[in-house]
C-alpha cells in the first residue's frame, strides 16, 4: 500500500477534484484516510435524505474519509461552522475549498473498486475485485 498526500486549493470542488485525480492518476482503488481544511460552502447529504443540504460560510472540515475508484467516490465528512455547530454526512459536489484542504490517500494497487446497484439497499454499492491473483483473493 502506498500513500499520497494532496493539497486542494481555494475554489476547488472537494469531490470533483478527488474524482478527477483518481482518474488522471489511474487509481484503481484508494481510501481517503484523512482530510482537514476549510470550506466556503458544503453540500452534505444527510442520512435518509434524497438531496444534499447546502451550507455556506466560514466552515472547517474536521474529518473526511471514504473510498475512491476510477468511476466514483464515496466520501463522508464532518464540518463545523464559525459558531462550532457541526454537521456530518455524505459529500456531494459543491463542497468548495476556502483556503486549503489537506488529504492523505491510501492506494490499493492490487484491487479495483467499482459500484453496482444492490437490489437490497437500492444504492450503487462498493464492489472490490482483485487485479492480481494472490493467496488471499481466491483467484
Asked whether residue 110 is domain-assigned, the answer is yes
Instruction: Supply the range of the domain harboring residue 114.
Output: 2-130
Asked whether residue 138 is domain-assigned, the answer is no
Question: What CA–CA distance (Å, rounded) separates 80 from 39?
Answer: 10
- Each residue's pLDDT expressed in tens, for the chain with a length of 139 residues: 899 999 999 999 999 999 999 999 999 999 999 999 999 999 999 998 999 999 999 999 999 999 999 888 999 999 999 999 999 999 999 999 999 999 999 999 999 999 999 999 998 999 999 987 665 555 4
Read off the pTM: 0.89
Asked whether residue 136 is domain-assigned, the answer is no
* pLDDT at site 139: 46
Whose cell is 483518481? That residue is 22
Asked whether residue 34 is domain-assigned, the answer is yes
CB 64 within 8 A of CB 75: yes
Asked whether residue 35 is domain-assigned, the answer is yes
* pLDDT at site 106: 98
Asked whether residue 33 is domain-assigned, the answer is yes
Q: Which of 14-51 are b and which e, b meaning 16 or more Cβ less than 10 Å from the residue's Cβ?
A: bbebbbebbeeeebbbbbbeebebbbeebbbeeeeeee
Asked whether residue 6 is domain-assigned, the answer is yes
DSSP code for 21: H
Q: How many domains does the chain have?
A: 1
* pLDDT at site 72: 87
Q: Vertex 82, ends 81 and 85: CA angle to 5°?
A: 45
For 43, left (φ over 0), alpha (ψ -120 to 50), or beta? beta
CATH code for the domain in which residue 31 is found: 3.30.1330.80
* pLDDT at site 9: 98
Asked whether residue 44 is domain-assigned, the answer is yes
Amino acid at each position: 500500500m502506498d500513500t499520497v498526500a494532496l493539497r486542494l486549493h481555494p475554489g476547488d470542488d472537494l469531490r470533483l477534484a478527488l474524482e478527477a485525480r483518481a482518474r488522471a492518476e489511474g487509481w484503481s482503488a484508494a481510501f481517503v484516510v484523512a482530510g482537514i481544511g476549510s470550506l466556503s460552502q458544503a453540500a452534505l447529504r444527510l442520512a435518509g435524505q434524497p438531496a444534499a443540504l447546502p451550507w455556506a460560510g466560514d466552515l472547517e472540515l474536521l474529518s473526511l474519509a471514504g473510498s475512491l475508484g476510477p468511476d466514483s467516490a464515496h466520501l463522508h465528512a464532518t464540518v463545523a461552522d464559525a459558531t462550532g455547530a457541526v454537521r456530518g454526512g455524505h459529500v456531494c459536489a459543491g463542497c468548495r475549498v476556502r483556503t486549503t484542504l489537506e488529504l492523505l490517500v491510501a492506494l490499493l494497487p492490487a484491487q479495483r473498486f467499482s459500484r453496482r446497484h444492490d437490489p437490497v439497499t437500492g444504492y450503487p454499492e462498493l464492489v472490490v475485485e482483485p487485479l492480481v491473483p494472490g493467496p488471499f483473493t481466491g483467484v
